[in-house]
Amino acid sequence: MANDSFLDRSRTVAGPGYNRWLVPPAALAIHLAIGQAYAFSVFNKPLGSLISGDVNAPAPDDWTPTQIGITFSIAIVLLGLSAAIFGKWLERVGPRKAMLASALCFGGGFLIGSLGIHLHNIWLLYFGYGFVGGIGLGIGYISPVSTLIKWFPDRKGVATGMAIMGFGGGAMIGSPLANNLMGHFKDSAPQGVAPTFIVMGLIYLVFMQFGVWTIRVPADDWKPAGYVPSTEHNAMITTANVSADNAIKTPQFWLLWVVLLTNVTAGIGVLETASPLIQETFSDGAMGAGAGVTAAAAAGFVGLLSLFNLLGRFFWSSASDKLGRKVTYAIYFGLGILLYALVPTLGHGLQLTLFVVVACVIISMYGGGFATIPAYLSDMFGKYQVGAIHGRLLTAWSTAGVLGPLIVHTLHEHAKEQGLTGAAAYQNVFYTMAGVLVLGLLANLAVRPVKEQYYEKGPVTAEAGGH
Amino acid sequence: MTTPANSSAPHVEEPAVGGSAIIAWLYVGIPLAWGVSQTFIKALALFK
């Protein structure tokens, strides 16, 4: 014990009387910070006009939107890869060390990125925010998941929903924070971006320390007061444990991989097109002079979708504790297929209010898909290495991050080449996404309990990730 | 695995509401509420 670091798992085991409701805020401190990644687009125009100084008139040597967009893509790919690679390490060393690594990478990524911006060297920006920061995203995203599941065996969906809701909320904080800071620093550096990166890096590094130093894991024999595990047999909730290495050998893992892939791919279809979709579908030409949706209203629509993305993460994940994970995903896919197929009809019929309501429900289920998957994995594979298994499953997210925009842009460009406009230019996107959801529905329906041959033999301990 | 000497003692769960829990929730709740309010204000433009 004398040789133990304060960061070691053994030093984070909670003593008697520890209040488990302190754990979700620790998780939120990490997710609210790293969720900033989804607000990266706030830097697009300033980063694209560092030389010219005018966001509307970039200089020839300014970075192009494509060059800047690669930064975010690298970060999301690294999120999936690092979650997959470092998952077992996280299970072994515990959440505190992982959260500190995440904070150092994420905050440090901003600082390296600021140097890249100052020197106008995009490779340094890619390395800092994209590569180093992306590793921080991946480790941070999975760092509290298995801990929360162990603290809340009676409410796994509620607990993971709270944390992953924070990832959605992080963009809501990161976007106005960045805008305010860039406004503050605009006279001291080109577009105020480099100092904004420094300040945000330091803010997030400090903010995440709350999670690092308050996170606790339960003792192996801990149970919530009065908690009696259900004796009612439910084949879809295992009492056994499957290791991460064995989990990826099961069809269940890959079926859930497809479930996450399809849910995220379809959701990106709406998120990617939200602003142009509502403006082009409900334009002045379609609605009448002055009655069309303006750019400001479209930005409001995007904001509304963000709110429902956030709320859906908590609502649907919590509901899954009562409904069951398989039923919850069947709702995501079944209702999703109907709603995606309905969107073009509402567009053609100029039903703006219904269109907005349907889009909000769709996005709530997109968020819900992210938040419910850790509990689904815990039900299927046990809590032993659920963080590592979750990390490996997140490669589906990275894949969807490439696949979703590719489908959307290809179909939309094709429709435009055919001279289609308004709702017609997007209808194939939504019909295709409904088809993608059919695949997800079938994959979800095919999920069955894991065979005994994959179970761990004998008792497992919290630190057994080090096998 | 090294565990604290008291890890095998009976574990009693504290109530959900406690001084430290309130501070912890305020720490994350205040910035989240600020972010949500900013987004909500932006979203209002859709209804104008």
The pLDDT of residue A300 is above 70: yes
How far, in Å, CA of A373 to CA of A376, rounded?
A: 5
Whether chain B has a CB inside 8 Å of the CB on A13: the answer is yes
Angle at alpha carbon of residue A163, lines to A21 and B27, rounded to 5°:
60
Count of structural domains, chain B: 1
Q: For residue B25, give its domain range.
A: 18-48
Assess if residue A464 is contained within a domain.
no
Count of structural domains, chain A: 2
Assess if residue A26 is contained within a domain.
yes
Using the beta-carbon criterion (under 8 Å), do B16 and A21 form an inter-chain contact? yes
Question: Strands, E, within A171-317: which ranges?
Answer: none
> Which helix H or strand E contains A390, and what residues bound it?
helix A386-393
Shared domain for A80 and A149, answered yes or no, is yes
Is the sign of the CA dihedral A82, A83, A84, A90 positive or negative?
A: positive
Q: For residue A184, give its domain range.
A: 9-214
Q: Which residue has the tokens 């565990």?
A: B3
How far, in Å, CA of B17 to CA of A75, rounded?
A: 38
Q: What are phi and psi of A403, to 5 degrees?
A: -65, -45
Radius of gyration of chain B from its Cα atoms, rounded to whole angstroms = 20
pLDDT value for A274? 87
For the stretch A188-244, pLDDT in tens is 899 999 999 999 999 999 999 999 999 999 998 888 887 877 766 677 888 889 999
Q: What are phi and psi of A96, to 5 degrees?
A: -65, -50
Q: What are phi and psi of A462, to 5 degrees?
A: -60, -35
Shared domain for A269 and A194, answered yes or no, is no
Report the percent of chain B where pLDDT is more than 90. 38
Residue A356 with chain B: CB contacts under 8 Å: 46
Assess if residue B40 is contained within a domain.
yes
Q: Which of A197, A214, A231 delimits the end of a domain?
A: A214
Q: Which of A214, A230, A261 delimits the end of a domain?
A: A214
Shared domain for A16 and A66, answered yes or no, is yes
For the stretch A444-465, pLDDT in tens is 999 999 999 999 887 776 554 4
For the stretch A72-105, pLDDT in tens is 889 988 999 999 999 999 989 999 999 999 999 9
Q: Are A51 and A120 in contact (CB under 8 A)?
A: yes
Shared domain for A151 and A252, answered yes or no, is no
Residue B12 with chain A: CB contacts under 8 Å: 16-17, 225
In which band, very low, low, confident or very high, does the pLDDT at B15 lie, cut at 50, 70 and 90? low
CA dihedral B44, A332, A315, A226 (to 10 degrees): 180
Assess if residue A434 is contained within a domain.
yes
Using the beta-carbon criterion (under 8 Å), do B42 and A16 form an inter-chain contact? no
State the nearest Cα–Cα gap between B19 and chain A, in angstroms.
Answer: 10
Q: What are phi and psi of A242, to 5 degrees?
A: -120, 135
pLDDT value for A462? 55
What is the CATH classification number for the domain harbouring A288? Answer: 1.20.1250.20
How far, in Å, CA of A12 to CA of A246, rounded?
A: 28
Residue B34 with chain A: CB contacts under 8 Å: 173, 176
For the stretch A313-356, pLDDT in tens is 999 999 999 999 999 999 999 999 999 999 999 999 989 999 99
Selecting from A28, A303, A463 the residue whose C-beta is nearest the C-beta of B43 gives: A303
The type of residue at A155 is R
Whether chain B has a CB inside 8 Å of the CB on A217: the answer is no
Using the beta-carbon criterion (under 8 Å), do A9 and B24 form an inter-chain contact? no
In which band, very low, low, confident or very high, does the pLDDT at A142 lie, cut at 50, 70 and 90? very high
> Which helix H or strand E contains A60, and what residues bound it?
none
Query: Residue A413 burial by CB count (10 A; 0-12/13-18/19+): exposed, middle or buried?
Result: exposed
Give the three-class secondary structure for A447: coil
Shared domain for A152 and A250, answered yes or no, is no
The type of residue at A217 is V
Closest CA to A241 of A12, A85, A464: A464
Interface probe for B, chosen from A4, A22, A30 (most Cβ of B below 10 Å), is A22
Interface pTM, i.e. ipTM: 0.86
Within 8 A by CB and 6+ apart from A283, the residues are A292, A293, A422
Using the beta-carbon criterion (under 8 Å), do B32 and A172 form an inter-chain contact? yes
Question: And the tokens for A4?
Answer: 């133990």
The type of residue at A114 is S
Using the beta-carbon criterion (under 8 Å), do A21 and B21 form an inter-chain contact? yes
